[in-house]
Chains A and B, each alone.
Chain A
Amino acid sequence: MYQLTKVNKKFPGVHALKNVDFFIGRGEIVGLVGENGAGKSTLMKIIYGAHQPDTGTIEIDGKTIRFQNSRQAMDYGIGMLFQEQSLITNLTVMENIFLGFELQFSNFGVINWKSMAKAAQYQLKKVNLNIDPSTVTSRLSFAQRQLVELAKVLTLEERIDGDLVILLDEPTSVLAQEEVQLLFELVRQLTNRVSFIFVSHRLDEVLELSDRIYVMKDGEVVDTVKGDKADIDDIQRKMVGRDIDKEYYREYRQKSYDQSKKLVSFNAVSVAEQFYDISFDLRAGEVVSFVGTEGSGREAILRTVFGLNNPTGGQFLVKDSPYSTGTVREAVQRGIGYVPRERKVEGIVNGMNVYENMTLSQLSSYSNKGILRVGEEKRLAENWVEKLSIKTPSVEKDCGGLSGGNQQKVVLAKWRSGGSDVILLDHPTRGLDIGAKEDVYEMVRDMCEDGAGIILVADTLEEAIGLSHTIYVLKDGRFQKCFDGSTGDKPSLYDLVHYMI
């Protein structure tokens, strides 16, 4: 009944969806899986009307439709169950359920709370949640909030005639095992009226619940499998796709590292609510990477090394001595450089030019008593522009106007030119095109040759495997398994994924 045909969507620099065909029948539960960046969220946004496709058609029961916004999609019975953040926590449960649809309870602008409470009670009953609708949402548990979300989406049943499609976006991420089962139970019961699209990183759950599963990769649907015939390993292979190209990650340039020179050591370090009992050493010339799903604690480790988080337990040494203040300033002074995921927010200063950005972390080296030696700054910048072949008309060009790859090079130049020898890379190739990615990989090898150590949170698993000497797998903030990534002896994707989920 709901069908997408040859849908394309492009964003600046990214072809997010390529000729995607998607179909969901009455009462069907369809799973949607893929790695980060495969196009799942773009596809969902198109389905519930938050994005419009560039080309291709949307049909409901054979009629072609175009939504301008998600409100219009709701009018056609398409609802979205957001991860818990869509509830406004200081409103009551009933206010949340009917947010934006209060008019039905109002007389001349005055809301009749009693009738709203009654209607809310009715919705809550659908999800078997026995709470007072006038409870303030912040007092509910996460599982209860998730059910309130579902109740909110189910108000569509009364508002719309005909069939409903409800998207479930990672609905189980905050739920305990038995709560997940309750939710699944509920979803199955509702299929007499509702079709569901279920998106989750937890493949076993997708397999359990779905009738059919769409597997996405690089903006394409690479396969559709029947739920009862699906096999986890097979799906994983399809999500990840192509074989790893050794040339691509410059594996021939991967040299052994200097065992004797420890740059960073963690000894059972914890940061409350982020990660626990993590131990590792980073040595000169080594690339260490942390892999795990979103929220596994990998980014938090980088931020801790950079002084943005303070450990709540364990011992943390940088070049054999502990931090005294645990601030970013100290981290920078001790030779740690951070290449953040949010390149345009934390990486470069948009509005400052190339040389200003490069010297920002090392102003004292380019000044006498606070007065800048701008000539030297420019020479430094010109040097690095040439060294890293940064494409910019001049070093006085605003960094905000450079392409993503060149911005990333400016950030790397900032740290390397200042002599940083511990480089933290957080999704360093995110949003870059292939050529720019390869430049980043070259730079990683260059830095190792210069004796720097790198801690990597890669954009994809292949990248982590291809680049690293050592790979740590994390799950829910805890260490799972350490793999040796020496050339010729690299673990496979499936080895890693197995410990991630």
Chain B
Amino acid sequence: MATATMTVQSLKPYFPWITLVILVSVVGLLNPAFLKPNSLIVLIADIVPLFIMALGMTFAIYIGGIDLSVQQIANFVTVIATVFLLQFGIFVAVLCIITGFVIGAISGWITTKQYVPSFVATLAMGFIALSLARFLSGERALSMNAEARDATFGWIFERTVGVPNELIIAATLLLLVWFLQNHTTFGRALKAVGAGELAAVASGLNVDRIKILAFALSGTMAAVAGLMFSAKLSGGDANLANGFLILAIVAVLVGGTPLTGGVGGMMNTLAGTLIVVVIRSAMIYLEINAIMQQMVFGVILIVAIALTIDRSKIRIVK
């Protein structure tokens, strides 16, 4: 009995990957066409913006918070990218990234310095971003100048030795945040804050700064996601990225980073995002309509939270 629980415990970190393999096999059996390498690559390349957003969200959830503003930051950024592309060229990307960083940092400041729980702080900042997006876009769907778009961002959607550049970007970012998490003092501090904030304070870490930076990085990644999405669709609109938020949260939680923080991390979010993709393509294959899909993800979210949350860390839930 003891050894059985021991093995279950030691397998726990691999649950998301095991789930992924099982899901892929099941979907592959139902629909063998799903497993063709080319269609798989296209499928994965398609969700790169979501994946990047989920990586950012991982920072917020890893420290035990959450960032509900990511979708609106991405919306805002699609508008910024479209409106200012002609004026700034490639530097519009810098503008977008700064926007995401600043909005995230403000959320972090509100959370740490004003003691507003992150879900409220980021929700509020999300509405502010949405409103700015509407204002800047004049509440219209805008299109990028086609020539400028191709000249500036066209390369993203080409391939290098057969691999879509989107995937290369995603892999590079993943490597970067993984390194940040596992090999830097910042990553170590994130873990300490997520697993035991009071001990981190009592060890002399600047916990506020670490938290603010975590939210800023979440905002930054959301901006990168919005930028790529905007370039992909060649336009911007205050509602373009709608539907991303729940998927990004599901990806992080299903990947095994619980809302209570401290465990999991970037590689888990990779697994989680892939699980989301497989489920989504399975639903498309099974002809479940788009409205029902949201419901399914809602249910998955609840189940994932209930399964992963560390109840010993929470005394009161409101």
Contact = CB atoms under 8 A, between A and B. Distances in A.
Interface residues of A, number: 29
A350 B199 CA distance: 9
Nearest to B197: A349
Interface stretch (A109-117, A338-346, A466-474): A338-346
Residue from B191, B196, B200, B203 having most chain A Cβ neighbours under 10 A: B203
Q: Is the interface of B mostly helix, strand, loop or mixed?
A: helix
A329 interface: yes
Interface stretch (A19-27, A71-79, A358-366, A381-389): A358-366
A500 to B, nearest CB: 28
A127 to B, nearest CB: 32
Interface stretch (A41-49, A369-377, A480-488): A369-377
B263 interface: yes
A371 B196 contact: no
B198 interface: yes
A332 B204 contact: yes
A215 B262 CA distance: 45
Interface in A321-367: 328-329, 331-333, 338, 340, 342, 345-352, 356, 359-361, 363-364, 367
A264 B262 CA distance: 36
Contacts, number: 75
A352 B184 contact: no
A414 interface: yes
B148 interface: no
Given A349-B195, A350-B196, A372 B202 contact: no
A372 B200 contact: no
A378 to B, nearest CB: 13
Interface string B180-211: 00011110110110111011111111100000
A372 B184 contact: yes
A352 B196 CA distance: 9
A372 B192 CA distance: 15
Contacts of A329: 204-206
A352 B205 CA distance: 15
A323 to B, nearest CB: 13
A361 B184 contact: no
B188 A363 contact: yes
Contacts of B204: 328-329, 331-333, 361
Contacts of B183: 371-372, 374
Contacts of A306: 202
Contacts of A356: 188, 191-192
Contacts of A332: 203-204
A363 B201 CA distance: 14
B199 A345 contact: yes
Nearest to A330: B204
A346 B186 contact: no
A428 to B, nearest CB: 14
A328 B202 contact: yes
A350 B194 CA distance: 10
A351 B184 contact: no
Interface in B162-195: 183-186, 188-189, 191-192, 194-195
A346 B184 contact: no
A313 B198 CA distance: 27
A98 B202 CA distance: 42
Interface bracket on B: 20 to 34
A349 B192 contact: yes
B186 A347 contact: no
A409 to B, nearest CB: 15
Contacts of A351: 191, 194-196, 262-263
Nearest to A347: B199
B277 to A, nearest CB: 29
Residue from B185, B189, B263 having most chain A Cβ neighbours under 10 A: B185
B202 A340 contact: yes
Interface string A220-238: 0000000000000000000
Contact of B185 (A338, A346, A372): A372
A230 to B, nearest CB: 41
B185 A363 contact: yes
A360 B203 contact: yes
B226 to A, nearest CB: 27
Given A328-B204, A367-B185, A372-B188, A345 B198 contact: yes
Interface in A287-311: 306
A417 to B, nearest CB: 12
Nearest to B263: A351
B196 A349 contact: yes
A346 B188 contact: no
Contacts of A363: 185, 188-189, 205
Contacts of A342: 198
A342 B196 CA distance: 12
A349 B261 CA distance: 13
A328 to B, nearest CB: 5
A328 B201 CA distance: 7
Contacts of B199: 345-349, 360
A351 B194 CA distance: 9
B195 A370 contact: no
A414 B206 CA distance: 17
Contacts of A331: 204
Nearest to B310: A351
A351 B204 CA distance: 18
A348 B196 contact: yes
B195 A350 contact: yes
Residue from B194, B196, B206, B262 having most chain A Cβ neighbours under 10 A: B196
24 contacts: A306-B202, A328-B202, A329-B204, A331-B204, A345-B198, A346-B198, A346-B202, A348-B199, A349-B195, A349-B200, A350-B196, A351-B191, A351-B263, A352-B196, A356-B188, A356-B191, A356-B192, A360-B199, A363-B189, A364-B185, A367-B184, A372-B185, A372-B188, A414-B203
Interface of A: 306, 328-329, 331-333, 338, 340, 342, 345-352, 356, 359-361, 363-364, 367, 370-372, 374, 414
Given A360-B200, A372-B183, 13 more contacts: A306-B202, A328-B202, A332-B204, A346-B198, A348-B196, A349-B196, A350-B196, A352-B191, A356-B191, A363-B185, A370-B186, A371-B185, A414-B203
The 8 closest A-B pairs by CB, nearest first: A332-B204, A351-B195, A349-B196, A361-B203, A363-B185, A360-B203, A346-B202, A349-B199
